[in-house]
Amino acid sequence: MSSANFTSEQITKMDQIIARYPRSRSAVMPLLHYVQSIFGYVTDEGIEFIGKKLDLATAEVNAVASFYTQYKRKPVGEYHIGICTNTLCAVMGGDAIYSALKDQIGSEHDGVSADGKVSLEHIECNAACDYAPVMMVNWEFYDNQTVESAKEFVEKARTGNPPAPTRGPKKLRTWKENSEVLAGFSDGLANEGISAGKASLLGLSKMKNSGNN
């Protein structure tokens, strides 16, 4: 495996990732996110190249990659959907949403729609329980979902017009683009979107309304 499969710009970015850490091995996770941003998933050549860069055996990089659920070993859709089916979201409607989307997309866990546009998995608690039931797409928040709203998302995403996240950028970015943010490269969209959703402001707005400050 040579570096010929990576552009010099990509290799520069990998070197920038490594330079963030006192010890190079710490770069393995952001490098795996970065490989996902290039290929959409963690490829064998990506693993081998990370091993070379960090002076690790392929098996060592593989061991890390296989430990974490966000690293995919096969392609996902351009819009990767996660439905929270941990207890709270499941009870509030997550189970119903997940089964409806499974029928609609015609895929099983981690499966991809035939057109390659959308893929589906069920996910664990995503730290937004006050917005249940929660759907994540490319790891952006879609709060307070219903079966209808989730199905509508899938339909629109298939025609290339996915609705925007509820707490996120104005326009949904692709799986690969968001993977690059996770690798530590800014896309300049931090200032888009709201500061806080309604639920986040529950106590604060109650306090202001009762004039107690």
Partner 1 sequence: MSKLVSVLTSNWEKSDSFTISGYQRDGGYKALEKALKMKPDEVIQLVKDSGLRGRGGAGFPTGNKWGFIPQGDNKEHYLVVNADESEPGTCKDTPLLMANPHVLIEGIIIASYAIRANHAFIYIRGEIVHVVRRVQQAIEDAYKTKLLGKNILGSGFDLELTLHAGAGAYICGEETALLDSLEGFRGQPRLRPPFPAIAGLYAKPTVVNNVESIASVPAIIDNGVAWFTSMGTEKSKGFTLYSLSGHVKNPGQIEAPLGITLRELLEIAGGIRAGHKLKFWTPGGSSTPIFTDQHLDIPLDYEGVAAAGSMLGTKALQIFDETTCIVRAVLRWTEFYKHESCGKCTPCREGTWWLVQALADLEAGRGSEADLDKLLDLCDNIAGRSFCALADGAAAPIISSLKYFRAEYLQHLQNGGCPFDPVAATLFQGSLT
- Measure Cα distances from 90 to 95, 114, 191 in Å: 5, 27, 32
Q: Specify the residue, 1 or 63, whose C-beta has the smaller distance to partner 1.
A: 63
Least Å from the CB of residue 158 to partner 1: 22
Q: Site map for partner 1, 53-82, x if CB under 8 A?
A: -x--------xx--xxxxx----------x
Stretch that binds partner 1, among 102-110, 111-119, 154-162, 195-203 (CB under 8 A): 195-203
Number of amino acids touching partner 1 (CB under 8 A):
84
Placement of tokens 């202001």 in the chain = 208
- In the three-class reduction of DSSP (H, G, I as helix; E, B as strand; rest coil), residue 161 is classed as coil
Beta strands per DSSP E along the chain: 79-84, 111-112, 118-123, 135-137, 140-142
Provide the β-strand partners of residue 120.
81, 111
Among 39, 96, 163, 174, binds partner 1 (CB under 8 A): 96
Q: Does 26 interact with partner 1 (rule: CB under 8 A)?
A: yes
Q: Does 15 interact with partner 1 (rule: CB under 8 A)?
A: no
- Considering only CA atoms, give the Rg of the chain: 19
Among 90, 101, 120, 135, binds partner 1 (CB under 8 A): 90
Q: What kind and span of H or E run contains 206?
A: helix 202-209
Whole-angstrom Cα distance, residue 192 to residue 91?
32
Binding positions for partner 1, 99-158, rule CB under 8 A: 123-133, 136, 138-141, 146-148
Among 2, 8, 159, 210, binds partner 1 (CB under 8 A): 210
